[in-house]
Amino acid sequence: MSSPDAATPLTMHGVFIQIFDVGVLIAGGSGVGKSELALELLARGHRLIADDAAEFVDADNGRVQGRCPPLLRGFLEVRGLGILNIERMFGASALLASCPLDLILRLLLPTEVTEMPDRVYGQRNTRSVLGAGIPEIALPIRLGHNLAALAEAACRDQQLKRGGYDAAADFVERQMRAIEANATSVEERSA
């Protein structure tokens, strides 16, 4: 990351892609599989904004807007394959000039995982980008995981959260009601 002033964009390392209508920065260490995940998502019809060095600016509407430096536009570097021209491979509709940053997916190698994610809430936090709180989800990489399906599910969940629905809160509330109903039932049988 670089330190921006009002005229200088913030450059962040990763692949910036639009999944459904959610702008996602796929972040993580070198060689973790960011570009391979992006390639799978492009094959599923999602759209690339920037590979390797995405630029972010504070938009007039208070959201963070991301774009690609002109030199890198339309290209994706994939280890073992080299530089790929996404427009020529997938068509012009596979590229997007810019979009808001809505979510950061941080890919973690097994050696980077210090604790198992919470089974209800996952491994989520909020990251400050240009003063805006951006949701961040850490995804541990494990053999057999379908990262593209997980990324799509994270984006669908983010869409629901934007609409006011939180699945984890709903689940916890249902559990609490069931516990309370069971406790009431036990008290009534005991009386």
Residues assigned a catalytic role: 13, 34, 52, 119
Give the strand pairing for 47-50 and 82-85.
unpaired
Angle at 128 between CA 122 and CA 130, to 5 degrees: 145
CA distance 152 to 78: 20
Six token digits for residue 70: 């002109």
End-to-end CA distance of the chain: 64
CA distance 66 to 98: 5
Angle at 32 between CA 26 and CA 33, to 5 degrees: 65
